[in-house]
A and B are shown apart, each in its own frame.
Chain A
Amino acid sequence: MNATELSAREIARLVALRELSAVEVARAYLARREAVDARVRAFLHPAPADEVLRAARAVDEKVARGETPGPLAGVPVAVKDNISVEGRPLTCGSRILEGYRAPYSATAVRRLLAAGALVVGGANMDEFAMGSSTENSAYFPTHNPWDLARVPGGSSGGPAAAVAAQEAALALGSDTGGSVRQPAALCGVVGLKPTYGRVSRYGLVAFASSLDQIGPFARDVTDVALALSVIAGHDPMDATSAQVPVGDYVRAAEAGVRGLRIGVPRELVEADGIDGDVRELVAAALETLAERGAHVEECHLPTAATALEAYYVVAPAEASANLARFDGVRYGFRAAAGDLEAMYARTRGEGFGREVRRRIALGTFALSAGYREAYYLRAQRVRQKLLLDFQRAFARYDLLAAPTSPTVAFPLGERVEDPLSMYVNDICTIPASLAGLPAISVPCGFSGGLPVGLQLIGPAFAEETLFRAAGAYQDATSWHRRRPPLGGLAPAGGRRRG
Chain B
Amino acid sequence: MTQPIADEVVRKVAELARLALPEDELRALTADLARILERVARLGTVDVEGVPPFSHGALLESVWREDDPRPGLPREAALALAPEARDGYYRVPVVVRRDGEEKP
Task: Report which A residues bind B (CB closer than 8 A).
Answer: 100-101, 103-104, 196-197, 210, 236, 239-240, 242, 303, 306, 309-310, 312-313, 320, 324, 327-334, 337-346, 348-350, 352, 357-358, 360-362, 364-365, 368, 374-375, 377-385, 387-388, 419-420, 423, 434, 436, 460
| Chain B residues positioned under 8 Å from A349 (CB to CB) | 19-21
Q: How far apart are the CA atoms of A339 and B12 in the complex, in Å?
A: 20
Interface readout for B49-92 with A: 1 if CB under 8 Å, 0 if not? 00111111011100101000000010001100111100000101
Interface pairs (20), CB distance under 8 Å? A100-B81, A103-B77, A236-B65, A240-B56, A303-B46, A309-B39, A309-B42, A329-B83, A332-B81, A334-B83, A339-B94, A340-B94, A368-B12, A379-B40, A384-B51, A384-B53, A387-B58, A388-B51, A420-B35, A460-B59
The 9 closest A-B pairs by CB, nearest first: A338-B104, A380-B53, A345-B20, A349-B20, A334-B83, A381-B48, A383-B54, A384-B54, A331-B81
Q: How far apart are the CA atoms of A348 and B53 in the complex, in Å?
A: 31
Contact yes or no, A343 B92, CB < 8 A? yes
**A345-B15, A361-B14 known; 16 other A-B pairs, CB under 8 Å?**
A103-B81, A306-B42, A309-B41, A313-B40, A320-B17, A329-B92, A338-B94, A339-B104, A344-B18, A348-B18, A362-B33, A368-B12, A374-B1, A384-B58, A387-B54, A420-B39
Contact yes or no, B36 A339, CB < 8 A? no
Contact yes or no, B60 A381, CB < 8 A? no
Determine how close the nearest CB of chain B comes to the CB of A388; give it in whole angstroms.
8
**Total contacting residues, chain B, CB less than 8 A:** 56
Contact yes or no, B48 A378, CB < 8 A? yes
- The chain A residue sitting closest to B83, CB to CB, is A334
Contact yes or no, B93 A339, CB < 8 A? yes
Q: Which of A324, A361, A436 contacts B59 (CB 8 A)?
A: A436
| Chain B residues positioned under 8 Å from A385 (CB to CB) | 46, 48, 51
| Chain A binding surface SS class | helix
Q: How far apart are the CA atoms of A336 and B48 in the complex, in Å?
A: 48
Contact yes or no, A103 B73, CB < 8 A? yes
B98 at the interface (CB under 8 A from A): no
Contact yes or no, A306 B33, CB < 8 A? no
| Chain B residues positioned under 8 Å from A337 (CB to CB) | 93
Q: How far apart are the CA atoms of A350 and B82 in the complex, in Å?
A: 18
Q: How many inter-chain residue pairs (CB < 8 Å) link A and B? A: 169
Interface readout for B1-44 with A: 1 if CB under 8 Å, 0 if not? 10001000110111111111100010001001101110111111
Q: Which of B17, B20, B43 contacts A313 (CB 8 A)?
A: B43
Contact yes or no, B46 A340, CB < 8 A? no
Determine how close the nearest CB of chain A comes to the CB of B82; give it in whole angstroms.
6
Q: Which of B13, B19, B90 contacts A330 (CB 8 A)?
A: B90
Contact yes or no, B39 A375, CB < 8 A? no
Determine how close the nearest CB of chain A comes to the CB of B4; give it in whole angstroms.
12
Contact yes or no, B29 A357, CB < 8 A? yes
Determine how close the nearest CB of chain B comes to the CB of A309; give it in whole angstroms.
5
Determine how close the nearest CB of chain A comes to the CB of B36; give it in whole angstroms.
6
| Chain A residues positioned under 8 Å from B5 (CB to CB) | 365
Contact yes or no, A364 B17, CB < 8 A? yes
Contact yes or no, A331 B82, CB < 8 A? yes
| Chain B residues positioned under 8 Å from A239 (CB to CB) | 63
Contact yes or no, B94 A364, CB < 8 A? no
Contact yes or no, B18 A327, CB < 8 A? yes
Contact yes or no, B43 A306, CB < 8 A? yes
Contact yes or no, B36 A378, CB < 8 A? no
| Chain B residues positioned under 8 Å from A236 (CB to CB) | 65
With contacts A242-B60, A382-B46 taken as known, whether A330 is within 8 angstroms of B78 at the C-beta atoms is yes
Q: Which of B9, B52, B84 contacts A381 (CB 8 A)?
A: B52
With contacts A240-B60, A309-B42 taken as known, whether A361 is within 8 angstroms of B29 at the C-beta atoms is yes
Contact yes or no, B73 A104, CB < 8 A? yes
Contact yes or no, A360 B19, CB < 8 A? yes
Listed residue (A309, A324, A384, A419) with the most chain B CB atoms within 10 angstroms of its CB = A309
- The chain B residue sitting closest to A350, CB to CB, is B20
| Chain A residues positioned under 8 Å from B90 (CB to CB) | 329-330
| Chain A residues positioned under 8 Å from B1 (CB to CB) | 374-375, 378
